[in-house]
Amino acid sequence: MTTPFTSSVIYLDYCATTPTDIRVLEAMLPYFARDFGNAASQHHFGRIAGEAVELARSQVSGLLKCLPSDVVWTSGATESNNLAIKGVARSVEIPRPHLITQATEHKAVLDPFSSLHNEGFEVTVLDVDSRGRIEPENVRRAIRPNTVLVSVMTANNETGTIFPIKEIARVCEESGVVFHTDASQAVGKIPFDVGNGNIDLASLSGHKLYAPKGIGALIVRKSKKLRRLNPLIDGGGHERGMRSGTLNVPAIVGFGKACEIVAKELFLERPRVEALRNNFEALLMVRLSDVRINGDTSHRLPNVSNLAFLGIDAEGLMIALDRVAASTGSACTASLLEPSHVLRAMNLPEEQQFASARFSFGRQTTVGEVEEAVDEIVRTVNTLRNLSSTSVAQSSP
């Protein structure tokens, strides 16, 4: 793999963001200056930009197994989630519509739900089990006559837990309820498409799959259930009126290229990254005691390892690890000194929540980096554990 930039710090935070793939970057470059046209213009320059956007649309739809016209460009998964959730809720014409989601969703889903709750919508947030999963039956039981939307992520960004979304989508289909999934962590890590399922809406993020930040898509599949989606942004009527604003052509071109790469290479990349992750966990388990894996190890993304190092504070571990970049919680909430809402929702013992950190692997991670990271983590965890046991000894009478 082409690694144009190197660093002395080992990057194990691919769930927070990925570097732009050099092939993606190269595909984008002509569209900044030479082919700079506005994709909506009718002349020569507009046509070149417009054709590039339509090629990208077909690259995304090829991976997702939908129609090119189902792809709505957005600024990222945060916007896609807001558009899907608020767009459905605000377009239905029944009194007090009811919406369902689950507790470990990204804030970009939970916060739109709480906004809608404040606007007067009925909201159910389903509890997860200790592995962070819900069962399709939980959804079925929560559906009411006035339920209009269910939103359940494809895979969790902190633990990698994969949800049974095919089955949940089927439950929704049987009840005539629109189903949305935040697939931003799943696309590019595991096979994901909307082809034969009953998924009406899916959110994607460019920077989670080696395209730049600030570009994403919402897949909107037309059906009898989903006739209209109220836009968040009104204006020139771009994207079939669902998302006005001049298209970000270079970023869209990059997003398309990134999806094309995933379509071609996932079958190789997935087992490679999974082997790295499994080796990482196996090495740590051999060399350290009291390490727990958070999440559902039988339904888990191949690239995520959320580990509890019992007896230490993971926030301190992250600071002490000079040469490994990983994170506690999600990047968006990691600045808050409280355990992640995901681990809390899983009802893990409080000590385990505070001792947990996420390591995530990706396209540029090497076997050597994993071994170096393990060495550094083992050394640091042992140091921190020794420190805390001496301080406990000193403070006891």
Ligand X SMILES: *Cc1c(COP(=O)(O)O)cnc(C)c1O
Q: Which residues are catalytic?
A: 332
By CB under 6 A, tell whether 151 contacts ligand X.
Answer: no
Q: Which residue is nearest to ligand X (CB)?
A: 76
Q: Locate all alpha helices (DSSP H) within 143-248, ordered by sequence.
A: 165-175
Tell the smallest beta-carbon distance from residue 13 to ligand X (Å): 12
48-51-57 Cα angle (round to 5):
145
Question: 21-60 mask for ligand X (x: CB under 6 A)?
Answer: ----------------------------------------
Q: DSSP secondary-structure letter at 203?
A: E
Angstrom distance (rounded) from CA 192 to CA 188: 8
By CB under 6 A, tell whether 153 contacts ligand X.
Answer: yes
60 or 284: CB nearest ligand X? 60
Question: 186-225 mask for ligand X (x: CB under 6 A)?
Answer: -------------------x-xx-------x---------
Which one of 19-27, 71-79, 166-174, 191-199 is the stretch in contact with ligand X (CB under 6 A)?
Answer: 71-79
By CB under 6 A, tell whether 158 contacts ligand X.
Answer: no
By CB under 6 A, tell whether 108 contacts ligand X.
Answer: yes
Angstrom distance (rounded) from CA 312 to CA 287: 16
By CB under 6 A, tell whether 341 contacts ligand X.
Answer: no
Q: DSSP secondary-structure letter at 305?
A: E
By CB under 6 A, tell whether 157 contacts ligand X.
Answer: yes
Angstrom distance (rounded) from CA 347 to CA 342: 9
Q: What is the number of other CB atoms lying within 10 angstroms of the CB of residue 366?
A: 13
Which two tokens mark 192? 């994901």
Question: What amino acid is encoded at 214 in this protein?
Answer: G
Distances (CA, A) of 357 to 29, 81, 330, 336, 397: 36, 26, 10, 14, 33
Tell the smallest beta-carbon distance from residue 342 to ligand X (Å): 10
Angstrom distance (rounded) from CA 394 to CA 235: 66
By CB under 6 A, tell whether 78 contacts ligand X.
Answer: yes
Q: What is the number of other CB atoms lying within 10 angstroms of the CB of residue 380?
A: 21
Tell the smallest beta-carbon distance from residue 187 to ligand X (Å): 10
Which one of 37-45, 160-168, 177-185, 266-274 is the stretch in contact with ligand X (CB under 6 A)?
Answer: 177-185
Residue among 57, 106, 243, 341 that touches ligand X (CB under 6 A): 106
Question: What amino acid is encoded at 190 in this protein?
Answer: I
By CB under 6 A, tell whether 132 contacts ligand X.
Answer: no
Tell the smallest beta-carbon distance from residue 170 to ligand X (Å): 22
By CB under 6 A, tell whether 98 contacts ligand X.
Answer: no
Angstrom distance (rounded) from CA 381 to CA 387: 10
Residues that bind ligand X (CB under 6 A): 76-78, 106, 108, 153, 157, 182, 184-185, 205, 207-208, 216
